[in-house]
A and B are shown apart, each in its own frame.
Chain A
């Protein structure tokens, strides 16, 4: 099998930029979410449609990103 219908887009979830990479493999759509900077994978999801896979990955990513705290006092 080969991946088809590739797409990549970025969006903001809260204050964080996230990149969604989606493709279809067999009958299933897959989506991975990474945090763009530094590019670390944070969530993966599948769905019967691209939208479903992306929504699930986004929801998981949003939950994890919500735990990240900024510490502006750490700056000079």
Chain B
């Protein structure tokens, strides 16, 4: 993990194995497939359901501050707790959780490099025991909204002639050939991408085993599309979790200062009446 801008935000599976009973550490599994935790998980880990516990369940939004504080306390997490996040799909929703913890100012939150799949493939211990969590008190910071981009900001940026938007979906979603990843529900009316967006799929940041690529590889991947940290960057995908993954890479591994996540993403833009949409091919980024 050498060379990353903030290497302390990433831990190895080996590190996690040594800290599963550390009272200062809380390990949390956040999966796309919310039933995966029940099959077997890292000893001592609890689970958060992205679709029930990490969002406002009435309106489409991130967790309100009071609900966030309640979740932390119910999870046995205090302001000084080291939170380790991991999950399936190479940490897509673990990164989504990471993003929300940073919005609410949690100091020490880290991703387990490689996620759930790496832990399993390394033959590490799994359990179905659900741990009891200790009492905790939590006070969130005022939300840091610089980490988030909302619709009017994207519209304004386009009207002013463009913004470095990074669309991290697959090329077929970007071009408009498909409306959602194969096998997932189509949740938008139109296919394509936001004007000016560059297509750099989230997976370009990962090795085959799900760990993040080296700092030199990451610099090359993003620089080849003009993303070098000299301008503000907005990442988006379909619902905001894959773009959280890329947001993490750009902000904490590459160290770019002005990076935000447009979590409304394509399910917002692709359903807007009158919104400009571009379709077409994309250059492959290696």
Contact = CB atoms under 8 A, between A and B. Distances in A.
A41 B120 contact: no
Contact of A70 (B31, B169, B178): B178
A48 interface: no
Q: Size band of the A side of the interface?
A: 20 to 34
Contacts, number: 108
Interface string B234-273: 0000000010000000000000000000000000000000
A74 B191 contact: yes
Interface residues of B, number: 44
A64 B183 CA distance: 5
Interface in A33-69: 34-35, 37-44, 61, 64-65, 67-69
B244 to A, nearest CB: 14
Interface string B75-119: 000000000000011100000000000000000000000000100
Given A61-B183, A70-B177, A74-B177, A38 B170 contact: yes
Contact of B126 (A25, A44, A67, A69): A25
Nearest to B191: A74
B179 interface: yes
A68 to B, nearest CB: 5
A62 B35 CA distance: 20
B120 A38 contact: no
Tell me whether chain A's interface is mostly helix, strand or loop, or mixed. Answer: mixed
Nearest to A43: B183
Given A70-B177, A71-B177, A75-B280, 9 more contacts: A3-B120, A32-B33, A32-B88, A39-B90, A41-B89, A64-B183, A72-B177, A74-B192, A75-B175
Interface of B: 31-33, 35-36, 39-40, 88-90, 117, 120-121, 123-127, 169-173, 175-186, 191-192, 201-203, 242, 279-281
Interface of A: 1-4, 6, 16, 21, 23, 25, 30, 32, 34-35, 37-44, 61, 64-65, 67-72, 74-76
